[in-house]
Amino acid sequence: MNSDQKAPKMDEKPIEDSLLKKYFRILAVVTAYWVVSISLVFINKALLSGQSDGSTLEAPLFVTWFQCVVTVALCFILAFGGKFFPTLGTFPELGLDHKIMIKVLPLSIVFVAMISFNNLCLKYVGVAFYYIGRSLTTVFNVLMTWILLGERTSFSAIVCCAIIVGGFWMGVDQEGVAGSLSISGTIYGVLASLFVSLNSIYTKKVLPFVNQSIWLLGYYNNLNACLLFLPLMLLNGELSVILEYPGFGNTRFWVMMVAGGVFGFAIGYVTGLQIQVTSPLTHNISGTAKACAQTVLATYWYSELKPLLWWISNWIVLFGSAAYTRVRQVEMDKAHKASKITNS
């Protein structure tokens, strides 16, 4: 054999196989995130305002409370099952530590407000408009980070936020032109966006109290929420509505309720998994693309015809959100490189 001739690389095939498995894993996780997220929105919409048999339960806080109960139950099931089936994963020991419950309480209050306003928004607006109604989360995140944490934002990020606000106002205007604008639903969407941003900030503050365990935080957070929702349901007058509701014997109703709870639990898991197998930037891009697909699917599913400017408003919000994600990624990379140079 000529000395200049290169020997064939015997490890090329295994490398190709491992890359193929990695790509399939990423595709499977992203697909799972899309399916779970979109399904959760449509299930909650059906529960809150769209039962085909006309037996919609007019008690949105009860529906949300039940989903928290399902989440707590699933945490116990997984923790118990993990002891006998290690393949399920490693789960922390669950208990009723009142000290941790009190420390997590500020986050739980924000969490209850977030999911309550989120579901109230979904009750009064269509799924197609839901993304626009909830589109100010990024703007509030920048504002709350500055107010509560004192972190300044770059001019480029502020421009992106301005684009999102412009798209939001245009979407609201076009929803009014289409004759389907719900003022209360839009207000609930703005409030939901505010508490989503607060939820992320308070999550970072509370995580040290549960040894940085997302599973343990989710358990105590939903456990607190189950208790907080009880007086809220009474104050909202839902007790009489629940007692008079004729659909509790409907199997389809309970299937939808349990499904909503399971998907509500699963969204936290697949979100974390998508970030793990890709990156925070890719997760945000995936979420933005998912919102676009969800909007298109909703207009088809509910046979809604929207004017051109309505669609343009959606694209403006999507563009602003994607641009903000990219700007923040570049800023974080620069900050990381600067810190490495400083420390070296």
**Which string of DSSP letters, residue by residue, matches 157-184?**
HHHHHHHHHHHHHHHHHHHHHTT---HH
In this prediction, residue 39 carries a pLDDT of: 93
User: Taking 60 as the threshold, does the pLDDT of residue 11 lie above it?
Assistant: no
Q: Which of 107-111, 210-214, 228-232, 257-261 is least confident?
A: 210-214
User: How many structural domains does the chain have?
Assistant: 1
pTM: 0.83
Provide the token pair at 273: 């998994």
Does a structural domain hold residue 106?
yes
Mean pLDDT in residue range 288-310:
86
Neighbours of 341 (CB within 10 A): 8
Share of the chain above pLDDT 90, in %: 32
Q: C-alpha distances in angstroms, 109 versus 59, 105, 223, 226, 344? A: 19, 6, 12, 11, 43
User: Exposure of 231 by Cβ count < 10 A (0-12 exposed, 13-18 middle, 19+ buried)?
Assistant: exposed
What is the model's pLDDT at position 330? 83
Average pLDDT over residues 182-206: 89
Inside any domain, residue 111: yes
From the list 105, 95, 133, the residue with the least C-alpha distance to 227 is: 105
* 132 has pLDDT over 70: yes
Q: Provide the 10 A C-beta neighbour count for residue 207.
A: 16
In a domain, 128, yes or no: yes
Say how far apart CA 209 and CA 206 lie, in whole Å.
6
Residue 334: is its pLDDT beyond 90? no
Q: State the residue for tokens 């015809």.
A: 305
Residues ≥6 apart with Cβ < 8 Å to 110 = 195, 198, 199, 202
Q: Of 162-171, 249-258, 297-306, 325-334, which range is least confident?
A: 325-334
Average pLDDT value for the chain:
84
The answer to whether 134 touches 122, Cβ cutoff 8 Å, is no
Establish if 41 belongs to a structural domain. Answer: no
| Residue 210 falls inside a structural domain | yes
Looking up tokens 């998912």 gives 290
Residue 60 burial (CB count, 10 A): 25
* d(C-alpha 197, C-alpha 308), whole Å: 30
Look up the domain containing 131 and give its range.
59-244+260-335
pLDDT digits (tens, 9 = 90+) for 181-193: 899 999 999 999 8
- pLDDT tens-place string over residues 166-176: 999 999 999 98
- The pLDDT value given to residue 280: 63
Q: Is residue 234 part of a domain?
A: yes
pLDDT tens per residue, range 21-71: 878 888 888 899 999 999 999 998 888 886 555 567 888 999 999 999 999
**Residue of higher predicted confidence among 43 and 4:** 43
Mean pLDDT of all residues in 76-95 = 77
Give domain status of residue 313, yes or no.
Answer: yes
